[in-house]
Structure 1
Amino acid sequence: MGSFSLIHWIILGIVILLLFGGNRFSAMMKDVAHGLKSFKQGLSEEDEKKQAEFRAQQDQRQIPPAAGPMAGQQPIDLEARPSADPAPRDDQQR
């Protein structure tokens, strides 16, 4: 009682075809397919824009070659090294 049988589905399909007609139904399906294609195309264009923005950000993050007033200077050495002539400590002076 709660579910439709095969006969019910066939009758329902015939009624829908009579109401919408063959051409109208195929035109609706064509419109749905066109909508899906444009949706996918929009997604791919959006992905391409994001990738281009990401590449531009990566290019900006790269350090440019040395130019300007500090171009000839050597980089600063940050390693801790003992000096050649250490200052005497308190206990060594006594």
Structure 2
Amino acid sequence: MGAFQPIHWILVAVVVLLLFGGRGKLSSIMGDAAKGVRAFKDGLKGEDEADKPVVKPTPSVEGGKD
């Protein structure tokens, strides 16, 4: 008796298909969750940038053109 019998491989395959399946409901839910996490992280970055003062660059004057 091995550690993984054929029924174990079938169960693993079913779980993988449910999680990463093509157009399944669970895969779309996971994609939506990932978008939510990404939006949350972007929101946190926005707060850090809002605390910093905005410095406008001054135009440089190039000399020596004839």
Structure with larger RCO (C-alpha < 8 A, sep 6+)? 2
TM-score normalized with structure 2 length: 0.49
- Max Rg structure: 1
TM-score normalized with structure 1 length: 0.38
